[in-house]
């Protein structure tokens, strides 16, 4: 893989700040030129992701037609989000494009994707033990994790990841102190090899710790040895079925062998998550790469900590806390509490700080990801392949109530009763929370899937920082990667279909649509 890993996609030449500053000086607009000078350190552009409004879709909100301006991304201008939804692109297509597309005509993408997938699998199993054909033999890490989880039960996977990562950081720094970390002089081959190696170890650690906690919750009397033996057997069964690293991770997160429908649901969601634009964790990854981390381990841990934070505009953990708060209230008081939360500017998983996801008119921007995630859940329910327990139904009904209150009905402020209601659209974390609630994933584990896949987006960010310092891609991306609006109905149809289903009674029951 050395030849491929050495290739960096070309840095985009598009530099709107520099161009505008030059034009202001030409016109003698000193004040404008001075103001633009404050932004002189902003980069040329990002060459990874563009997320413009591409589609418009009218939906019915209690008799009012609201037009959704739907944003949709493209990766390096070669893989549109619609290809993922259609099944024409999977995780390796997106990862490979994000890391290498545009790096050179000599790149054999088919061969390269196969080799990259094999390398990712190899690093996953190398950390856990050994795999030969369809057999698996566990190593000392699973035993170490079993002891750790037994001693600290109920912790989230991020704690186990940070624990093992700290030990690995100490080992690497002691063994090879000269050439580790993220910095401008680091050659792209060794950097990418180390990033993939450490990330896949973290993925394995997070997945195994989630599974061990599931075992321990079911049988608190299990010993360290019992836990390790069961985990080894579970992974061996997955390997015997030909599962790759990502597919085994789905089963570990679920705490059971994932069926075909569950794998499809989680893989679609994960593929979309690979690069999430200017999300907070991506911003931290870019900042850490620019700051120059002393170890690659720090790069991933810092980004993961941002991912696991509570963000007022949409953290999954924040949503879990709010649902628990609503559960404790009488049913007739829940909608009012949602309205209060919305008017206070802190409604979890709704709104967005960087797009116009709120409005009083009949047009508002929409992130399509919630619908893209939830749609295959509805399909699996209707096919009889996914059954939602009464407890899950109750919690999903609360999520639906939030959707109805925030978007379908909207909220009137006391001093603005004669104006149209304020509506907020759901962001990506609403869909992610609903999917994982429907699949029965423990609340502590609900950012792990995002971490698994977004880690590769962070690698893309770090490699871009080797060429140009941009911190966060909030300016217009390179025009060459911006897709043009088109009449492809793939994504608008999904958004409309999921919206319509959520407005029906008991949408998570079979044939509710």
**Domains of the chain, residue spans:** 52-72+311-446+483-513, 91-308+458-475
Please provide residue 220's backbone torsions phi and psi, each rounded to the nearest 5 degrees.
-60, -20
| HSE of 482, CA atoms in CB hemisphere, 13 A | 15
User: Which residue's entry shows tokens 């009763």?
Assistant: 417
Name residue, tokens 């919206």.
499
What is the distance between the alpha carbons of residues 451 and 462, in angstroms, rounded to a whole number?
16
Mention every residue, 6+ apart, whose C-beta is less than 8 A from residue 414. Answer: none
**pLDDT tens column, 117-134:** 999 999 999 999 988 777
If we measure between CA atoms, which residue out of 208, 5, 203 comes closest to residue 123?
Answer: 203
**Contact by Cβ (8 Å): 95, 274:** yes
Strand partners of residue 131: 136
Query: At 16, is the pLDDT very low, low, confident or very high (cuts 50, 70, 90)?
Result: confident
CA gap 241, 119 in Å, rounded: 19
What SS3 state is found at 359?
A: strand
The pLDDT-based confidence of 2 (bands split at 50, 70, 90) is confident
Please state, in angstroms and rounded to a whole number, the distance separating the CA atoms of residues 511 and 341.
32
End-to-end CA distance of the chain: 48
- Fold for 91-308+458-475, please state it: Citrate Synthase; domain 1 (1.10.580)
Element (H, E) at 112: helix 109-128
Q: With cut-offs at 50, 70 and 90, classify the pLDDT of residue 218.
A: very high
- Give the pLDDT confidence of 33-80 residue by residue, as tens digits: 898 887 766 666 788 888 899 999 999 999 999 999 999 999 999 999
* Residue 464 DSSP SS3: helix
The 10s digit of each residue's pLDDT in 254-284 is 999 999 999 999 999 999 999 876 678 888 8
The pLDDT tens digits for 384-429 are 999 999 999 999 999 999 999 999 999 988 777 778 899 999 999 9
pLDDT of residue 426: 94
Write out the two tokens for 57.
């879709």
pLDDT at 473: 59
């Amino acid at each position: 893989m050395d030849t491929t890993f050495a290739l960096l996609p070309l840095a985009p030449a598009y530099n709107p700040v520099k161009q505008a500053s030059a034009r202001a000086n030409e016109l003698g607009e000193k004040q404008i030129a001075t103001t633009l000078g404050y932004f002189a350190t902003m980069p040329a552009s990002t060459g990874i992701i563009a997320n413009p409004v591409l589609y418009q879709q009218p939906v019915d909100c209690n008799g009012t037609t609201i037009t959704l301006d739907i944003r949709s991304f493209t990766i390096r201008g070669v893989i549109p989000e619609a290809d993922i939804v259609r099944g024409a692109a999977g995780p390796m297509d997106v990862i490979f494009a994000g890391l290498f597309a545009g790096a050179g005509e000599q790149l054999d993408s088919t061969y390269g994707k196969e080799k990259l997938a094999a390398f990712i699998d190899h690093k996953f199993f190398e950390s856990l033990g050994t795999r030969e054909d369809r057999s698996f033999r566990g190593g000392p890490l699973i035993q170490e994790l079993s002891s750790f989880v037994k001693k600290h039960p109920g912790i989230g996977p991020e704690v186990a990841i940070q624990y093992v990562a700290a030990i690995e950081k100490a080992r690497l720094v002691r063994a090879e102190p000269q050439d580790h970390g993220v910095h401008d002089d680091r050659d792209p081959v060794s950097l990418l090899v180390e990033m993939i190696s450490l990330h896949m170890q973290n993925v394995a650690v997070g997945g195994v710790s989630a599974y061990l906690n599931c075992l321990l919750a079911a049988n608190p009397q299990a010993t360290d040895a019992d836990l390790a033996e069961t985990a080894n057997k579970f992974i061996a069964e997955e390997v015997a079925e030909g599962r790759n690293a990502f597919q085994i991770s789905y089963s570990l997160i679920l705490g059971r062998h994932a069926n075909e429908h569950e794998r499809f649901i989680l893989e679609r969601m994960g593929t979309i998550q690979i690069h999430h634009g200017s999300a907070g964790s991506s911003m931290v990854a870019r900042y850490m790469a620019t700051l120059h981390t002393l170890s690659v381990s720090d790069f991933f841990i810092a980004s993961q900590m941002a991912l696991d934070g509570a963000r007022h505009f949409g953290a999954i953990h924040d949503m879990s806390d709010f649902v628990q708060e609503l559960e404790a209230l009488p049913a007739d008081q829940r909608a009012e509490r949602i309205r209060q939360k919305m008017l206070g500017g802190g409604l979890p998983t709704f709104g967005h700080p960087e797009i116009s996801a709120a409005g009083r008119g009949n047009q508002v921007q929409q992130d399509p990801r919630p619908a893209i995630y939830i749609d295959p859940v509805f399909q699996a329910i209707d096919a009889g392949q996914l059954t939602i327990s009464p407890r899950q139904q109750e919690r999903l009904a609360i999520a639906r109530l939030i959707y109805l209150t925030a978007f379908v009905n909207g909220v009137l402020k006391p001093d603005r009763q004669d104006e149209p209601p304020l509506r907020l659209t759901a962001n990506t974390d609403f869909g992610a929370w609903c999917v994982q609630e429907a699949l029965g994933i423990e609340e502590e584990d609900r950012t792990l899937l995002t971490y698994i896949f977004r880690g590769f987006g962070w690698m893309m960010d770090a490699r871009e920082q080797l060429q140009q310092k941009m911190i966060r891609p909030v300016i217009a991306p390179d025009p060459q990667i911006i897709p043009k609006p088109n009449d492809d109905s793939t994504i608008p149809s999904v958004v409309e279909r999921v919206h319509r289903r959520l407005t029906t009674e008991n949408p998570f029951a079979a044939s509710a649509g």
